[in-house]
Structure formats: C-alpha cells, structure tokens
Amino acid sequence: MRVGQKVDASDTIAEFFPEEKFIIVNVRKELNIKNTDDARRSINVKVGDKLKKGDVIAQSSRTISKPLKAQNDSEVVNIIGSQVVLRLMQRPKAVLAGFEAIVTEILPFRGVVIETNGALIQGVWGNQKATSGPIITIMEDMFEELTPQKIDVTFRGSIVLGGYCANSEVFKAAEELNIKGLILTSMSASIANAALNCNIPIILLEGFGPIPLNERTYELLKSNEKKVVSLNAIYDVKKYEKPEIIIQLPVEANPPVEGQELRNGCVVRVNSGPDQGKAAVIKKINPTKTILQNGIRTVCAIIEFSDEDQISVPLANLDILE
C-alpha cells in the first residue's frame, strides 16, 4: 500500500494472523502406554520442531504399534512429561477494502486509512463477501419478486438490485452469468444457507420474509443506476456492524453527526410491525407515554407516509434514514 493508491472493494489492504491456538497431545493415552517414562522415550520430536500434517510425533517401541501423527501443521512449543504441546500454524487472513477508495494515510503496524465520497446505505444481513461494479435495477416496483428467469446475460459484470427472493436458483443463475453481486430487498429464511455458500456478495436491505423495499432507498438506488457501487457484505454482528452499500458520487464528505436523535421532521424507517420497511416523516413525538395493546407504556411518534396516511409508532420501532 502507498498513499494515493486506488483500491477496489475486493482488494487486500492488510493481513493479520488469527488468535493463536494450542493443542495438547497426550502420548501415553493415545499410544496406550502404561509407564510415563516409556511414553516420554517414544516421543520423536523436540521443542522448536515445525511439523507438517502427517509427521510422526511419537511411536511405541512395541513390535506392533501405530504411530501418533500430527493432525495439523504445527510447532512443538513444549513437552511436559508424556504430553506434547503444539501451536497450530495458521495462515494470515486478509482485510479487504470493502469499497472503492483512495489510501490517504498509512498507520505503521496498525493499518491504513482509506476514503471515498458517496452515499451510504446500510443493510441488515450479508454473506461475508465484497465487490464493486455498476448497479443495474431490475425492479419495476418496491414489491417485486426476483426469480431465476429475470437474471439476464446482459447483467454480466454488474451488481443487480432485485426484490424479494424465495428461490436459491437465483444464486446459481447469477454465478453462471458472472454477475458481480446481488442487492436484495428481502429473502426467504429457507435459502439463507444457499446465500451464505454463494460465491458472489449478497446483501439484504430489509430482512427475511416478503418485505417490500422502503421508498427512500428504492429511489436512491434507482436514480443512480449504472453508477459504480461498492458492496461490502463483510460485517461482525457482535461489534454492531452492518453490511453496507456505497454509491460513488462526486460530492464532498460531511463530518459524521454524533448523537443523532429522533425529532420532528426526521425521515425514518419502520423496523417492525405491519408497516416494516416503509419510510416516513415524524410529524410529532408525543410528550407522554402511550399504552400499547400489549399493555406496555412507551413513547410514541406520529409518522406520515408518502400517501399522507398517519399512524402512531413506538420510537423503538423507528430507524433514522437521514
């Protein structure tokens, strides 16, 4: 890496070694040797030896004996009595850029800083892969279902925005036609494993089940068709990360807003209930708590959809869109 270098979403910007793992091989037990001293004499390795999978660790002096072999590439770090302590040799793991960007700073022994300008859309699920390419929209409306028949050879090399997906054959068709990635509104939970095993990145914007795409996101993606999009479906739920879509746009970046709160006029997305996935505007936040049908008392807001319908929704069921 160097400052000023351009990187793609799938480019490796750093490598790291996973947390060290150790195993203890009990030679006496494995070879069924009664005496500890005899078991120690049967050990054929010493501290510091690097072993390949299949190398002999120990072998009994009996006429008929089965050698004890290493199950993994490893290094002998200690021998205690008749026990051999091995450190597993692990390959370095790659850190991918995740989006098209420019390297702006190199942090020795820590990593790099990469920057880009554009619009950010966060999804709710991804299959731990990344890519970038021009986006093509094949949705005529926000409720459309993506079927294998809609995957066309003209989509080759592009990222496809589809709707709800209930058929794993969609993934096979996308792989066969060299489509770079799929952005799905939602997906049947029954094909989640097929999506995880798919070789191309897949991101869900709304979740599992037949959920329509919210209007704001649909309009944003539709209006930027054929522009370069970075698809980063690599995320860690335990760190509260989300899969992301970045639309490359020639705009100046604004500093992040800290502590953003729900307020009147705020554009939100309903995250649960019968209106899940819909975008709306907060018209009023009730100053007192409301009693819901389940008996829970909580703060609610009056929100208005694009068709001017208004409903009351708990604040906990709203996500800020912008």
Which CATH number covers residue 83? Answer: 2.40.50
Q: How many domains does the chain have?
A: 4
Do 280 and 314 share a domain, yes or no? yes
Kindly state whether residues 134 and 218 are assigned to the same domain: yes
Q: What pLDDT sits at residue 254?
A: 54
pLDDT, averaged across the chain: 89
Q: Which residue has the higher pLDDT, 303 or 275?
A: 303
pTM: 0.64
Confidence band for 2, pLDDT divided at 50, 70 and 90:
confident
Are 180 and 131 in contact by the 8 Å Cβ rule? The answer is yes
- With left for phi above 0 and alpha for psi between -120 and 50, is residue 240 left, alpha or beta? left
Is the separation of the CB atoms in 97 and 8 below 8 Å? yes
Local confidence band at 140 (pLDDT 50, 70, 90 cut-offs): confident
CATH of the domain at 127: 3.50.30.10
Boundary-marking domain end, from 248, 276, 308: 248
Give yes or no: residues 209 and 123 share one domain. Answer: yes
* Same-domain check for residues 137 and 51: no
Question: What does the pLDDT read at residue 13?
Answer: 87
* List of residues 6+ apart from 151 with CB closer than 8 A: 160, 170, 173, 174, 177, 179
pLDDT at 208 over 90: yes
Nearest-Å Rg of the Cα atoms of the chain is: 27
- One DSSP character per residue, 11-66 reads -EEEEEPPPP-EEEEEHHHHTT-S-HHHHHHTB---TT-EE-TT-EEE--SSSS-P
What residue numbers bound the domain in which 107 lies? 1-17+96-115
Q: Does residue 262 form part of some domain?
A: no
- Is residue 251's pLDDT more than 70? no
Question: Mean of the pLDDT values across residues 194-200?
Answer: 96
pLDDT score recorded for residue 18: 82
Q: Domain check: are 105 and 177 in the same one?
A: no
Q: Tell me what pLDDT residue 195 has.
A: 96
Any domain includes 281: yes
User: Residue 64's pLDDT is what?
Assistant: 67
Residue 254 falls inside a structural domain: no
Q: Are residues 81 and 59 in the same domain?
A: yes
Same domain, yes or no: 308 and 239: no
Mean pLDDT computed over 28-37: 89
Distance CA(97)–CA(180), nearest Å, equals: 16
- Whether 257 is covered by a domain: the verdict is no
One domain for residues 205 and 311: no
- Residue ranges of alpha helices (H) inside 107-249 are 169-176, 192-197, 215-223
Range with the poorest average pLDDT among 3-7, 93-97, 104-108, 280-284: 93-97
